[in-house]
Amino acid sequence: MSTLDLTTRITQLLRTFQATTPGVLGASVVSNDGFAIVSELPQEIEERRVAAMSAAMLALGEQTTHEFDQGHLERVFIEGARGYTIIISAGPDAVLSVVARKDAKLGLVFLQMERVAAAVRQAME
């Protein structure tokens, strides 16, 4: 699959995710070294900063769960006064980062994120 085809496929996955998951404001797929692969974030959110922070937070989360013998990291979950940032692995080379409103149904967001991450993982193979 060409890079353009991969980008188009992942963009469609993120757009469908946002359209079918109430409360999701944006999502991005980021390389493990902190570069945006595909981003569907609100205009006021700086893509490069989100990419770098997402990769760093996932790596820190993995280190932390390992150090404290907590098993495999499932997600990094950040709660702010107005919403959430959720980060999960999307394969050996990518991270899925999602921004959601405070009223988002988190169970649904988590379920859909797992599905999107699996689809991204498969597309990148």
Residue 125: what pLDDT? Answer: 86
Percent share of the chain, pLDDT over 70: 97
Place domain 3-124 in its CATH homologous superfamily: Dynein light chain 2a, cytoplasmic (3.30.450.30)
Crossing angle (nearest 10°) for helices 3-20 and 106-124: 170
HEC per residue, 42-53: CCCCCHHHHHHH
Q: What is the pLDDT of residues 48-106, one digit of tens each?
A: 999 999 999 999 999 999 999 999 999 999 999 999 999 999 999 999 999 999 999 99
pTM: 0.92
The first and second tokens of residue 19, run together, are 């359209």
Residue 34: what pLDDT? Answer: 93
Domain boundaries, the chain: 3-124
The partner residues of 105 in beta bridges, in order of sequence, read none
